[in-house]
Amino acid sequence: MNHVLFHQRSSMPELASPAHVRIWQSRSTDSFYTGHVVRNWKVRWFVLLQDKLLYYKIEGGKKEPSPKGRILLDGCTITCPCLEYENRPLLIKLKTKTNTDYFLECCSREERDSWALDITGAIHAGHPVQVQELHRMKNSFKLLDNISLHDIVERMYDSNTGIKLTRNLDQGNRYKETFTGSSLVDWLISNSFAVSRFEAVTLASMLMDENFIRPVGTRSTEAMRFSDPSEKFLDDSTALYMFAENSKKNTSSKEEVQFNISELSGTIVKQGFLVKQGHKRKNWKVRRFVLRADPAFLHYYDPTKEENKPVGGFSLRGCLVSALEDNGVPAVKGNVQGNLFKIITKNDIHYYIQASSKAERVQWIEAIKPLT
């Protein structure tokens, strides 16, 4: 892969190579880099090989024949997104096994993520299982079991480590204290609330559904018409969002659902996050599901609520559970991407649920069936 990137280095290298680099993928390209003695950013042409990253000076619009320096990838760790520089959101950080830090800046979020994926693949080239796992995680969906949207919002408000708020102009309208969709996704990943952009988009959609954040401007407001959570929130540097006015309070006027203590006393067989379709608005929301035996019940919880009380649930006796292979099921509203299954209660109430993968869907179905 070759490309032009920016590059910076934070300690004196063993090799005669500059310090800050800006990166693309496993092809050649220009980039800026900052020297390790004088911290200025310079453009360099990068070439990614199987075990190293070479960078070249550019003179007269052409790269020089011999590389200016190299970054050995054996034993490297990569951080992407890297938010150490407030005004440079498109960085990749490489730390070599000799503890030399390189900061590589790309021109777009897409190029940054593409370079990061290829560099990570080169670092783990001798471990094909890890490479397969990296590609799987790119579109993974598995939220943390102890996730709390309240905690995320509190962290977002932090003046030092929270999301950076900026002024933006959109079609003649000025907005104060806003952030872009892609910057929120970067922040969620950087703070370990998500491991992939797909997970982060799902989390951001939850924040929006629960009125913690709201869209402003044309792009983000228009996207709200989509029913699928993955399309409602935009991982885009032109889509603007801001905190909702009541995001710190976030009180709900919904009537609390009462549950018998006995139905919550069963042995927990399985629990995890799934996406459930609502019965009235037919929108999709992430819920934490808990499967219990003796008595057999399936309850689901709202991860935005601090109290550990279910918002819904039903007895599994007499239920039917089955996988839905057709994404275009008429009763399912929204552009939902597979891994669906359906539970029909003995009172003929239909629940449509989405798992993160076919394997997870099978696990849930196999866990529920013996309890029906």
Question: Is the pLDDT at 139 greater than 80, yes or no?
Answer: no
Q: DSSP string of 203-236? A: HHHHHHHTTSEEEESHHHHHHTT-SSHHHHS---
- 29 inside domain: yes
- What would the two tokens of residue 200 be? 């982060």
pLDDT number for residue 337: 62
Over residues 104-121, mean pLDDT: 81
On whether both 54 and 104 belong to a single domain, the answer is yes
On whether both 132 and 35 belong to a single domain, the answer is yes
On whether both 236 and 195 belong to a single domain, the answer is yes
Pairing of strands 340-344, 320-324: antiparallel
- Higher-confidence residue: 67 or 129? 67
Domain that holds residue 359: 261-369
pLDDT number for residue 81: 82
Q: Where do the DSSP E strands lie in 49-186?
A: 52-56, 58-59, 62-63, 69-72, 77-82, 91-95, 101-105, 166-170, 173-180
Last residue of a domain, one of 180, 212, 243: 243
- 270 inside domain: yes
- 129 inside domain: yes
- 256 inside domain: no
Over residues 300-319, mean pLDDT: 84
On whether both 194 and 288 belong to a single domain, the answer is no
Pairing of strands 91-95, 213-216: unpaired
Report the percentage of the chain scoring pLDDT > 90: 15
On whether both 28 and 76 belong to a single domain, the answer is yes
On whether both 290 and 361 belong to a single domain, the answer is yes
pLDDT digits (tens, 9 = 90+) for 237-250: 888 999 986 444 43
Task: Using DSSP, state whether 162 is helix, strand or coil.
Answer: coil
Over residues 325-340, mean pLDDT: 63
Distance CA 279, CA 258 (A): 18
Residue in this structure with the two tokens 């069963």, named with its chain if needed: 266
On whether both 57 and 98 belong to a single domain, the answer is yes
The model's confidence at residue 6, banded by pLDDT at 50, 70 and 90, is low
- 118 inside domain: yes
pLDDT number for residue 194: 84
Report the percentage of the chain scoring pLDDT > 70: 72
Give this prediction's pTM.
Answer: 0.50
pLDDT number for residue 331: 56
- 7 inside domain: no
Query: 263, exposed or middle or buried, with CB in 10 Å at 0-12, 13-18, 19+?
Result: middle
Distance CA 93, CA 81 (A): 8
- 252 inside domain: no
**Nearest-5° Cα angle at 134, 129 to 136:** 95
On whether both 127 and 172 belong to a single domain, the answer is no
Least confidently predicted of 78-92, 169-183, 303-317, 327-341? 327-341
Residue 353 CA, chain-centre distance (Å), reads 21
Distance CA 186, CA 215 (A): 17
The model's confidence at residue 113, banded by pLDDT at 50, 70 and 90, is confident
Last residue of a domain, one of 178, 213, 243: 243
On whether both 63 and 88 belong to a single domain, the answer is yes
On whether both 238 and 267 belong to a single domain, the answer is no
pLDDT digits (tens, 9 = 90+) for 155-164: 898 888 899 8
On whether both 91 and 181 belong to a single domain, the answer is no
Last residue of a domain, one of 104, 137, 170: 137
On whether both 281 and 239 belong to a single domain, the answer is no
* Residue 345 near residue 315, CB atoms below 8 Å: yes
- 287 inside domain: yes
- Higher-confidence residue: 129 or 353? 353
Total tally of structural domains belonging to the chain: 3
CATH number of the structural domain spanning residue 24: 2.30.29.30
CB-facing half-sphere around the CA of 236: CA atoms within 13 A: 16
